């Protein structure tokens, strides 16, 4: 049965790492829903968070192949209930539309915030799960959204083990 999985990959900071990871999905005809990459709390260790829908058997094999990459320190796979995750969305709408929207109500009800007000446009920011940012999108849509951008998922896992503990294990082996 297909489900949403969050794959967290910790890697060395080397050129081409993203390509090494993504070709493993490409080869298996798997489409990635979202991907984010950033440095972690440990210097020179990078973290990739990849979200996709597939089945358990397939994702376990894919993560096995990712873990096998020389420059990958460790790869994990989690289901939604095992991670705390968040996405950020930015909505650009015409300043003239302010008259027709009750801005205060929208911001309050959606725990959104206004990032900037320009004579021509305003930018509203909302963080949340994809479904939540989508709700706001639907609300603002009637007023004309000039531009919309949503980030990939960032996620931390619920188990308490620290990354540095894994790194120590790797170095001691």
Q: Does 19 bind other proteins (CB under 8 A)?
A: yes
Residue with tokens 């446009």: 121
Q: Does 29 bind other proteins (CB under 8 A)?
A: no
Spatial distance between the Cα atoms of 93 and 85, rounded to a whole number of angstroms:
27
Q: Does 170 bind other proteins (CB under 8 A)?
A: yes
Give me the least distance between CB of 73 and other proteins, in Å please: 5
Yes or no: say if 121 and 93 are a contact pair by the CB < 8 Å rule.
yes
Beta strand spans in the chain (E)? 3-12, 34-39, 45-54, 72-79, 83-94, 113-117, 121-128, 145-150, 154-157
Of residues 7, 35, 59, 72, which one binds other proteins by CB under 8 A? Answer: 72
Q: Which window, 84-92, 105-113, 124-132, 165-173, contacts other proteins (CB under 8 A)?
A: 165-173
Q: Does 172 bind other proteins (CB under 8 A)?
A: no
Of residues 28, 68, 129, 141, which one binds other proteins by CB under 8 A? Answer: 68
Spatial distance between the Cα atoms of 105 and 72, rounded to a whole number of angstroms:
46
Q: Does 20 bind other proteins (CB under 8 A)?
A: yes
Q: Does 41 bind other proteins (CB under 8 A)?
A: no
């Amino acid at each position: 049965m297909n489900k949403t999985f969050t794959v967290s990959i910790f890697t060395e900071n080397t050129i081409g790492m993203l390509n090494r990871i993504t070709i493993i999905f490409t080869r298996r005809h798997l489409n990635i829903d979202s991907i984010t990459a950033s440095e972690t709390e440990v210097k020179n260790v990078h973290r990739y968070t990849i979200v996709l829908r597939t089945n358990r058997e397939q994702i376990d094999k894919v993560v096995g192949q990712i873990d096998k990459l020389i420059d990958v320190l460790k790869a994990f796979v989690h289901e939604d209930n095992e991670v705390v995750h968040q996405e950020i969305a930015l909505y650009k709408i015409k300043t003239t539309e302010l008259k027709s929207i009750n801005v205060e109500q929208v911001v309050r009800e959606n725990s959104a915030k206004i990032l900037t007000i320009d004579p021509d446009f305003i930018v509203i920011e909302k963080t949340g799960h994809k479904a939540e940012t989508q709700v706001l999108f639907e609300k603002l849509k009637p007023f004309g959204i000039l531009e919309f951008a949503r980030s990939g998922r960032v996620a931390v896992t619920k188990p308490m083990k620290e990354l540095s503990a894994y790194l120590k294990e790797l170095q001691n082996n």
